[in-house]
């Protein structure tokens, strides 16, 4: 039984390995890795929540083919991304550039944490204030404490 489980697991994993794309041929392994990296990080302009690797749209196939050609020509990752951005805009790359519009993506969470800290600091003062008791109140507190013991 145990052997059967291991065996079926092995078959399962073997299937996963052989399912990689061998449609695109590369001269070196580095180029192939760059291609896979780029097709994960570039976004399909038609089906917007998928990357090139996931998408079956015609445009994704075209872009993948272009990435393949550019990588094979020996272009670097930055060059391929710049090529795509020039045609499809910043939108095509999942990592947004920092500019006056997108800076809020980083600033807002920081501001949020900062304001939370500030609020905490301001409230701590109130709880630290000394409590003043007159003699009658003090006596009552002592009584209550004793009764507890």
Partner 1 sequence: MKKWLVFLLPLLAFGVLLIFLFQGLFSDPREHKSSLLEQPMPAFVLPDLMQPEREYTQDVFAGKVTLLNVWGVWCITCAIELPYLTQLQQEGKHIVGLYYDQDIDPDFGLKTVARVQQEVTQKLAQLGNPYAYNIFDVKRNLSLDLGVTGAPETFLIDQQGHIRLHHIGDLNPRVWRNKFEPVYQSLMGQPE
Residues that bind partner 1 (CB under 8 A): 45-46, 48, 57-59, 61-63, 66, 85-89, 91
Nearest residue (CB) to partner 1, 41 versus 61: 61
DSSP-assigned states of every residue in 66-107: HHHHHHHTT--HHHHHHHHHHHH-GGGBSS---STTTTHHHH
- In angstroms, give the least distance from the CB of 61 to partner 1: 6
Minimum Å gap between C-beta 48 and partner 1 is 6
Integer Cα distance of 49 and 43 in angstroms: 7
The residue assigned the tokens 């196939």 is: 61
CB of 92 to partner 1, least distance (A): 9
Residue number with CB closer to partner 1 (32 or 45): 45
């Amino acid at each position: 039984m145990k052997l059967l489980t291991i065996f079926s697991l092995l078959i399962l994993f073997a299937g996963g390995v052989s399912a990689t794309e061998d449609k695109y041929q590369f001269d070196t392994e580095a180029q192939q890795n760059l291609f896979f990296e780029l097709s994960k990080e570039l976004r399909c302009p038609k089906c917007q929540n998928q990357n090139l690797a996931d998408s079956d749209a015609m445009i994704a196939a075209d872009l993948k083919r272009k990435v393949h050609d550019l990588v094979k020509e020996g272009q670097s990752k930055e060059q391929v991304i710049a090529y795509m951005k020039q045609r499809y805009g910043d939108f095509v790359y999942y990592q947004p550039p920092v500019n006056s519009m997108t800076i809020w993506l980083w600033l807002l969470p920081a501001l949020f944490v900062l304001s939370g800290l500030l609020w905490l600091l301001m409230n701590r003062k109130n709880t630290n204030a000394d409590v003043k008791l007159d003699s009658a109140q003090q006596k009552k507190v002592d009584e209550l404490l004793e009764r507890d013991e």
